[in-house]
Structure 1
Amino acid sequence: MSHRSAALVSVALVTLLGVALSGCASTVSLEAAPEANTPECADVTVRMPDTVDGQERRWTDAQATGAWGDPAAVILTCGLEAPGPSTLRCITIGGVDWLVDESEAPRFRLTTYGRTPAVELFVDNEVVSPNNVLSDLSGAVGQLPKDRECIAPESADPEAQG
């Protein structure tokens, strides 16, 4: 085999390997929230875990976002306006209050309550347990400043139920 042929084979193998690896870890395309560039969201971002309820973290292309699973079963966005009082069910997991919107079940929209800026999660309830996801993310999201809390929230935290 000539040097030129060997070089072409090497380039082809490297290209195929790159395509194969990128296919396994494709970037999730998301939009950054209006306040994604705050220091508070940076604190959340650097603390996001590598796995959430057994789903591996994937790269995203927007600031202060996260995604887990392939296809993404959990999507996190930090930097939203904090919600006001709501009639949505409120749960507390890991010291963080969450408003639960099940209107698009089996995909749930979970939004922090009483934290500024707010974090929003989209969770596919057919793939992951929302309670496990919230528990896994509570360390990162709990970094956000707390300025209020839900009135009589449901505790979905197994440790708090004693």
Structure 2
Amino acid sequence: MPSPLPPLPSRALLAATVLAAVLTGCAPAVTVDPAENAADPGCAPAMLAMPEGVGEHERRETTSQGTTAYGDPTAAVVRCGVTPPGPTTDACSSVNGVDWLIRRSEEDGSLWTATTYGRDPAVEVVFDSSAVASSTLLVELGSAVEQIPAERRCLALEDALDAP
């Protein structure tokens, strides 16, 4: 004679436990060093608004406050609370109303860093361009980053020359 099934609440708890084990066992948390100002209260709305995925990469748990990551293997790491960049001659791109300073890594040509310009706290995204296009990534992160109000904008050289 087969053993009777456990009562319904026990079966639901068992199913939830198995599901949680499967979901948490898929990909370990990504180890990310927090930014120096990761505890800045301005980071909370932006980090809570981060999308569940960028491109074809799902959001992953990280080990630090004010951070998130996408992809397995990791395609992009987001850190809020980096020091806001000051005036610079670095290339600046405006993507759907968010200004980003974008720099290519000297060590690995497929790694790029994009840092918000004119927002405090600043958000930094380190990404592998062979895994996710900057155009996709920055567009999809834009609405979350906009939770931090812009205080300044990038200027083109001709705009700066026209200033009084």
The TM-score range, normalised by the shorter chain, is 0.7 to 0.9
Indicate the residue corresponding to 1:56 in structure 2: 58
Partner of 1:97: 99
1:133 is aligned to 137
Residue 133 of structure 1: how far off its partner (Å):
0.2
Q: Which residue of 1 aligns with 2:90?
A: 88
Runs of at least 5 residues in structure 2 that lack an aligned partner in the other structure? 1-16, 158-164
- Equivalent positions of 1:4-43 (< 5 A) are 18=21, 21-43=23-45
State the alpha-carbon separation in 2 of the partners of residues 53 and 152 from structure 1: 30
Q: Which residue identity does 1:85 align to in structure 2?
A: P
1: CA distance between counterparts of 2:140 and 2:125? 12
Deviations 1:106-129 (A, max 9, x none): 110000000001100001000110
1:148 shift after superposition: 0.7
Moved over 3 A (4+): 20-23
Structure-1 separation of matches of 2:89 and 2:31: 31
TM-score where L is the length of structure 2: 0.78
Corresponding residue of 1:151:
155
**Secondary structure at the counterpart of residue 39 of structure 1:** coil
Q: Structure 2: how far apart are the matches of 1:32 and 1:100? A: 20
Counterpart residue identity of residue 146, structure 2: G
Q: CA offset at residue 31 of structure 1?
A: 1.4
CA distance in 1, matches of 2:89, 2:77: 23
Identity of aligned pairs, percent?
42
Count of aligned residue pairs for this structure pair: 138
> What stretches of structure 1 of length at least 5 have no aligned partner?
1-13, 154-162
Deviations 1:98-153 (A, max 9, x none): 00101342110000000001100001000110111000000000111211111129
